[in-house]
Structure 1
Amino acid sequence: MRSIKAIIFDFDGLLMDTETTLLECWRYEWRQYGLELDPTTFFADHGGDVSAEHYRRLAEAVGPDFDLELSRTRRLAYRDELHAGLGLREGIEHWLTEARDSGLSCAVASSSPRSWVTGLLGGVDRLDPFTTLAFGDEVPEHKPAPDVYLLALDRLGLDPSEAVAVEDSPHGVAAAKAAGLACIAIPHPHVDPARFPHADLLLRSAADLTLPAALARLAAQRRELTTPEG
């Protein structure tokens, strides 16, 4: 590996656990009709907004009396209540500090739109650590396509070998790898860690290792893969 100059973070589920708040606000809305949401089919295997599909399923379950505007207003109000108490995921604050102290740039590469990411990060006063931002509404294809990572690399002015991605989902890892990046996976709470065979390093939490230790372990593992047997 070349000397690492930047860490590129996913946003949803990685920097902030918006995957849990997303699930909970939809679960809340299903329960308004005496129904239970099936979490095993809830999360998509791609980035981007799938609200229309979720509403289609809910409307189908409720029947002809379903009021889309009422449902949307109520669900979003509850989601905003959940977000009011949401901070960075465990260990992420330390990684951002360690990146700064190590002279590494921090970037975000998210399939979500700019307003979503900047609104939530700005709400916890954590936009400043990121020198580069790339969003799903700026690229043709969402993850697992590599587009948003390629945009982030272009804005950083770096080769893929000079950056490391950090992801929480299998399709995010696929996007990072397709862009040529080494990838650390920190699965969000609603995905099976066994679904990350292509991650270069798998952690339960950013609190498991310091960022320098994680990068050192990543480098050691990649050296093992490229060192010819004697």
Structure 2
Amino acid sequence: MIHAVIFDIDGTLVDSVDLHALAWHEAFRHFGHAVTFEQARSQIGKGGDQLLPAFLSQQQMSDHGETLEQWRAQLFKSTYLSCVRPFSAVAQLLECVRDIGLTVAVASSAKEDEVRTYLEIAGVANLVDVISSSSDAEKSKPAPDIFQAVLAKLQLRGADTLAVGDTPYDAQAAIKAGLNCIGVLCGGFTEADLRSAGCLAVYPGPAAPYACFSTSPIALMAR
């Protein structure tokens, strides 16, 4: 029986994955690295600590990795953040989760101020009980740190919670922390990607588990 549901944000609650990929692509190009949009997109879901080493050598990381990441963050805020929109039925899904007595948490590799901005954009700031962000984790997904941090705040075990995410990295991190995970396809990864990473169910987006909430793993595992 679960007592809480932990949601990822980017690509799960808000439509931001392509925007993040564009910002990373432009940042790599600005610093002289030929990383395509598609290559950058395949790594979205990881924090910069895990994403940068996929494309930069250790020497390049030491030389300008932090500067590149800061440049990207500023570009995203100034150019792309205003374009972020929520997926359909996000608020309704979270209301259903709360209505059956479960706690709602979010676990994101984004910084806390970004997380709170996303929750405002999605119109769910008042529906989230616990927030865990990059400042709570030494390593980002697919490391389990962010889920371990939110479990500590919830004072629950992994088996007492369920994760919802859009990337294989969400599922891998959740499973390492002892959680089951539901996948959503709205972040752009395939069903095969999510199931091979360990998702026990996969939906097109948040509207689908809302539409069939009573038979979803969330409701069934809360009984």
The bucket for the TM-score relative to the shorter chain is: 0.7 to 0.9
Question: Does the 8 A contact of 1:19 with 1:188 survive in 2?
Answer: no
Q: 1:212 aligns with which of 211, 214, 221?
A: 214
SS of the equivalent of 2:38 reads helix
Whichever residue aligns with residue 215 of structure 1, its letter is P
The secondary structure found in structure 1 opposite 2:185 is coil
C-alpha deviation, 1:40, in angstroms: 2.8
* Alpha-carbon shift at residue 38 of structure 1 (Å): 2.7
Pick one of 149, 165, 171 that aligns with 1:173. Answer: 171
Of 204-213 and 129-138, deviating more is 204-213
| CA root-mean-square deviation | 3.4
Which has a greater percent of helix? 2
- Identity among equivalent positions (%) equals 23
TM-score scaled by length of structure 2 = 0.75
- For residues 160 and 29 of structure 1, do their structure 2 counterparts lie closer, same or farther at Cα, with a shift above 3 Å needed? closer
Q: What are the Cα deviations for residues 4-59 of structure 1, in whole angstroms up to 9, with x where unaligned?
A: 21110011111112212213445678999xxx973331132762126867997xxx
Q: How does 1:31-180 map to 2 (within 5 A)?
A: 38-42=36-40, 43-44=42-43, 47-49=46-48, 72=71, 76=74, 80-180=78-178
Deviations 1:142-162 (A, max 9, x none): 111111111111111112222
TM-score normalised to structure 1 length: 0.73
The 8 Å contact of residues 201 and 218 in structure 1, kept in 2 or not, is answered as no
- 1:23 match: secondary structure: helix
- CA distance in structure 2 between the partners assigned to 1:90 and 1:110 by the alignment: 20
Larger Rg: 1 or 2? 1
Q: Which residue of 2 aligns with 1:226?
A: none
CA contact (8 A) 1:21 1:79 kept: no
Bigger mean CA deviation after superposition, 76-85 or 167-176: 76-85
Counterpart contact for 1:169–1:188, Cα < 8 Å? no
Report the alpha carbon displacement of residue 100 of structure 1 after superposing the two structures with TM: 2.0
Provide structure 2 residue ranges, at least 5 long, that are not aligned to the other structure.
57-66
Q: Distance in 2 between matches of 1:88 and 1:122?
A: 10
Corresponding residue pairs, total: 204
Compute the displacement of 1:173 (Å): 0.4
Check whether the contact 1:106–1:130 (CA below 8 A) recurs between aligned residues.
yes
Given that residues 164 and 183 in structure 2 are in contact (C-alpha distance below 8 angstroms), is that contact kept between their aligned partners in structure 1?
A: yes
